[in-house]
Amino acid sequence: MLLNLLVKPGWVVLENVVQDRVGHALFGTFTALLTLATIVAAVSDLGTTQLTTKRLAASASYFTDFFPTLLPLRAGLGVGFLALTIGLGWLLGYEGHWLVVLAVTAAGLLFTQYTQFLRGVLQAHQRFTTDAVLSVLERVLLVALVLALLPLGLTLDRFVGVRTVAGLFTLLLLAGLIRRLYGRVGLRPRWRQARQVLLESLPLAFITLVYGLNERIDMLMLERLVSPQEAGYYAAAYRWVDAVMMYLWTVLPLFFAKFARATGRPAEQQQLLWFGQRVVTVPLLLVVGFGLFRGELFFFQFQHSSPAEILRMTQCLHILFLNVLVHAFFAIYSTLLTSTDHEKPVSWLVTGSIVLNTGLNFLLMPRYGALAGAANTLLCAVFVSVGYVWLVPRRTGVALPLRMLARLALTFAGLCGGWYALRTYAGLPWWLETALAACWLLALVFALGVVRVAEIKAALQRAPGPAKPGEEA
């Protein structure tokens, strides 16, 4: 997790430099192509990555029994994804050079997706440290390659090319590591097993698709409905949101595997949920506060942008960071539901969010551009989060940590009040202001009982573990 938190912001800064060099419009078109490929990738996976993690966590024999079928099945799905992506790009009006860019971008994403599939083996076997290192390896390599390109002349084509090279290298390295740890897997595809895997994974596939559409479709619609320039502004803001959300996507898979292993044991799942609520939410409160009060600092790399363009990107960032806040509070409930075979109601809930988001985009984007995309994303996050809170106790039997949620909400309100006072009356440098806000957040966390001194003392005396349910009240 620490590696992700170190590498991801560095990569975002560098990607901002790339956008500054190639221009908002050109980079906006590339981002739309990447979004299209990401959405189609969600279809091509067919839920096999999540299914593999769940099945391996429940039974170690799943690897030797099913991987001889799964490996060629995933490869075939990947080839189909590549062809489908190019075809959809052509139907949406991309042609010539942009179709080539789309094909190379999709190939790089294919390598990354297959890597994520293989990482499920490590996660299911509780090799979280190794998995964390591999999760940042591609970014580290990509940062090095892009830095090498800066003095040579950075173009969009070269940038797309090194993305694909980094993805392929990471995939080959991971494949070799898994072979060394678990032995060689012979490829013996069996139709009966393939059919079983596909049938079991389809609910997860639907959920992956709807989540991909829900989070990414704004970028594509902005570029097609409004302009590549507006898509570029939105991309610059969303890039930081994506970096911050990496904390969630690093932590939540750990809870996904643990929730799945505790299936049928609501008391154990309740312990994990009440413990995870604080682990997921508290660190993001400070980050969201910084984004709301000092959001303009995220765009210091854009030396070729006008003040009006910086303002536009900052406004998008403010709205999108409220979206992060909603996910910080409620994303773990989705993880609990999907890891315990309640994918169907979640998928229908997110489908409703997509319908709402798409309708609002058609209605508001032509007039408000990137700001409409950000606002619609926030509204849909609230919509699905209310649904998660309603579903969890009814479908899983796990009690919600309502008092803890209230304490966390008060903590964030207090943080914002303190930060506003610092910003308005103190006139401090941003770094000192942020340090004082962090100290204020820490004081609020203990004062409001989000974390108790007794828990810290207990953690120092024994190995860290989930808080007991009775300690939440």
**Kindly report the CA angle at 290 between 2 and 375, in degrees rounded to 5?**
105
Can you give the residue ranges of every domain in the chain? 2-400
> Which pair of structure tokens corresponds to residue 452?
């108790």
> Which pair of structure tokens corresponds to residue 291?
């984004």
pLDDT of residue 398: 86
pLDDT of residue 472: 44
Alpha-carbon distance of 404 to 60, in angstroms, equals 36
Alpha carbon 46 to chain centroid, angstroms? 18
pLDDT of residue 470: 44
pLDDT in tens, the chain (473 residues): 566 666 777 778 888 889 998 899 999 999 999 989 888 877 776 666 666 666 665 555 555 556 677 767 777 777 888 888 899 999 998 988 999 999 999 998 888 877 877 776 676 666 666 766 777 788 888 888 988 888 888 899 999 999 899 888 988 888 788 777 766 655 566 666 667 666 666 666 666 666 667 667 888 999 999 999 999 999 999 999 988 888 887 888 788 878 877 777 878 888 888 888 998 999 999 999 999 999 999 998 898 889 999 999 999 999 999 999 999 999 999 888 888 778 778 878 888 888 999 999 999 999 999 999 999 999 999 999 999 999 988 888 888 889 999 999 999 999 999 999 999 998 899 999 999 999 999 999 999 988 877 766 665 565 444 444 444 43
Residue 450 CB partners (closer than 8 Å, separation 6+): 278, 282, 404, 407, 408, 411, 444
Number of helices (H), then strands (E), belonging to the chain: the values are: 16, 0
pLDDT of residue 463: 45
User: Could you tell me if 19 and 235 are in contact, meaning their C-beta atoms sit under 8 angstroms apart?
Assistant: yes
> Which pair of structure tokens corresponds to residue 346?
């979640």
**Across 277-361, where does the E strand assignment appear?**
none
99: which DSSP letter? H
pLDDT of residue 206: 66
Which sign does the torsion angle of CA 172, 173, 175, 176 carry?
positive
Residue 176 CB partners (closer than 8 Å, separation 6+): none
Alpha-carbon distance of 88 to 102, in angstroms, equals 10
Helices (H), 226-306: 228-261, 266-294
Q: How many CA atoms lie within 13 A of 222 on its CB side?
A: 32
